[in-house]
Structure 1
């Protein structure tokens, strides 16, 4: 699995690659045909790779929710940052995200593309809210998150919590359009377009409304209030 934009690739590390990352940096670069940039100097990241490898997540789907994802500049094949989730979403459909972007690419289109593209995928994993904890003094990360449509939702002693909510669903409209199309086909077959349209719209409305209601229910929680402080 890999995601691409016009400027970057986002790819997850497999278990053997995690091990190479913290044990054999040169071999890691050679096997993946990449330049590690500043990533190999990040001891916190190396320790996390070691922890994930030691845990040994066997389920491939769950592995993606723990492993490190590399952000790679397509033009130079250089690792310019990393992303990682802290496991699957909780019962409130909230997932925790951490990321690092090299200095030269912070507050650039590269960082915005990476955050938005990765969050699109995370939202497909039974997640409605993506949260990032940032040191209160880290102005650069705060700026990157705001550019990627995150909002400040909580202020702690020395940490700020930013959050991005999955776009709300519009299944009712979609299924009504589908129902109308199917109804027209059905009605034409029986020389009664009006009845076909009514049946199709009714079915589409019922299915779409049920899906939208389910989506709304999944979002129910004590939602944090938006805080406009930056």
Structure 2
């Protein structure tokens, strides 16, 4: 049982009145497995816990940003050879774009949800990824002109340019990694707002990174994936 949540989580909990263990379990299941909110409502009912599906959604929207913030300093370093690509997510019937990159080993570099797929969005993604992970030696992209333009804009301000490779074959690593995210998204049955989509996707990416053992171990000890998630509130 978690008795002393960190400061960020404590601020969130002031407006939430369920036991923290129950809230974290629901939120973890939501971003870890292909389940809808109504599935979670039924699953908790079987455990004699009465909670409405909309309440579970509210917990996710409140808690996931705090957990993501706690994960940041604990994220393992990634390699210097990146594979970058974007995938499509539908919000209110319109396609939006989730920019993602993994390193050569398949570890997640960073992600960014954007309304448009253009040079500005690609540049914004690369600036964010570099700020959080350092400068890569090589970035592999597909034949997207927008992604190439975004990288060229980054290189224009650098003395030593990042090497750019355009190869769909070499980008299979990140394209395969997209599937783990899309698998969780599919049962959600439609996002209603850009903000909520961004938060839920951030939670799914967070859980995906933990499942890939990208969270630094506590004193060299390896914990289970669920325990690593719950440890973020400490």
| Bigger Rg, which one | 1
> Larger % of strand: which?
1
Whose relative contact order is higher, 1 or 2, with alpha carbons under 8 Å and at least 6 apart? Answer: 2
TM-score > 0.5 by shorter chain: no
TM-score normalised by structure 1 residue count: 0.28
